[in-house]
Amino acid sequence: MNFTNLFSNINPKEVITNLPDAVFVIDFDGKVLWANDKAAVIFESKIRDLKGLNFDEIVANGMELAEKSYSKRNSVVTGAFTIEGKEFFIEMNAKKYIDQYFITIRDVTAMTNVLAIAERTGRLNKEKNVMFVKLSNEIKSPIQSIIGFSQALLDGLGGEINDKQNKYVKIINKNSTELLYFMEKFLEFSQAESSLFHCDKQIFDIVNAIQTIVRNNDNALNAKDLTVNYDFEELTKKAVYNDENAVKIVLQNVLETSIKLTDTGSITIKCDHPDLELVEKCGVKLIKDAENTSYVRISITDTGMGLAESELEGIFEPYTQLDKVHKKTIVRSITLGTAYTITKRLGGAIWINSEVMKGSTFYIILPVEKNI
């Protein structure tokens, strides 16, 4: 073969022979002019048997994809065939040299199989979450029954019970209540991850939504004698466009986490409009013609003990916490994992800054305008 048209001032045969990929030289009619040893290995043939073949005979839509690879300056993945008809997958790159294509090929069958398995696993995980959500009533009803009947015994509705029995029934009631809370949080996280989650965006009052969530937590706040301070002075747009129910779930999960982290003092909730530079820095894709008022930032700051750096690692990722011994760590991560997943689905961002002995601040950024 004449390599003059392909290279100058180098020994092309030596270069091609030592390349780790299969190499073909194809004319514009699709005829294989030359192939290296690696090509013979990948296509399970001899070099002399590859020469003269039409490239489309061994690579699906070979010439069309060669032109696509060349024009797009990208690799393409497609099916290929040995002379015996065995199918496998390749990644192909093509360059043009005067009247010929110079094509490199890599066997990616193993990687393609891995991706297929990963895709199937992801689909099964979503289907698993859908199953959990649809079975939520069946899962929670028996627990609710245990709580209800144990409470009835404690209230004396089943007759008088002695002190020992009262102690045992209290344990049953307490543990079943905690189990129900855990299951509700787990099912809430499953729904947030599943295909059953759908955004229902509408205009609502963000300040009213925040205050409603705080009122819903009055009992927990009063039990610790915590005060809640509001700072909405920098918020110019209270009527916002997003999914109100989803936003409330995010706020509820973050606020209850903040309450659990705080034994004394207060919680301050601030709402304002963030700079677009910060919005982009958080990885949020800006909506069309975005301005500062196109987003709101909600910060929830507590005076609790704060979290150590080791506790912050994976705090929004429940699956990374499964090796943790402490049950509270797993429940907290599921709760915040739900907030994180929903916030992402709403087109926003969420993160936490915390320091031991100095408290924690959760930040939530949400788009609040229609993305036209």
Q: For 275-326, how does the pLDDT look when each residue is reduced to its tens digit (9 = 90+)?
A: 999 998 888 888 888 888 999 999 999 999 999 888 888 889 887 766 555 6
Pairing of strands 239-242, 100-107: unpaired
Supply the pLDDT for residue 88: 86
Higher pLDDT, 140 or 256: 256
CATH number corresponding to 12-107: 3.30.450.20
Answer yes or no: is pLDDT of 169 > 50. Answer: yes
Strands (DSSP E) contained in 202-305 are 202-205, 227-231, 239-242, 266-272, 295-302
Question: Which amino acid is it at 12?
Answer: P
Q: How many residues does the chain have?
A: 372
pTM of the complete model beyond 0.75:
no
Supply the pLDDT for residue 128: 62
Burial call 8-31: b when 16+ CB within 10 Å, e when fewer: eeeeeeeebeeeebbbbbbeeebe
Residues 6+ apart with CB under 8 A from 164: none
**Closest Cα partner for 362 from 340, 341, 346, 344?**
340
Residues linked to residue 267 through DSSP beta bridges, in sequence order = 228, 302
**Closest Cα partner for 105 from 67, 76, 83?**
76
Please state which of the ranges 77-91, 162-176, 319-333 shows the lowest mean pLDDT: 319-333
Supply the pLDDT for residue 1: 47
H-helix or E-strand spanning residue 53: none
Model confidence over 184-205: pLDDT tens digits?
A: 888 888 888 877 778 889 999 9
- CA distances 153 to 145, 248, 341, Å, are 12, 35, 40
Average pLDDT, the chain: 85
What is the token pair recorded at 183?
Answer: 């299951």
Model confidence over 82-116: pLDDT tens digits?
A: 888 888 888 899 988 878 999 998 888 776 555 55
Answer yes or no: is pLDDT of 125 > 70. Answer: no
Please state which of the ranges 218-222, 241-245, 316-320, 326-330 shows the lowest mean pLDDT: 326-330
**Closest Cα partner for 27 from 102, 112, 83?**
102
What is the third-level CATH fold of 202-367? Answer: Heat Shock Protein 90 (3.30.565)
Supply the pLDDT for residue 8: 47
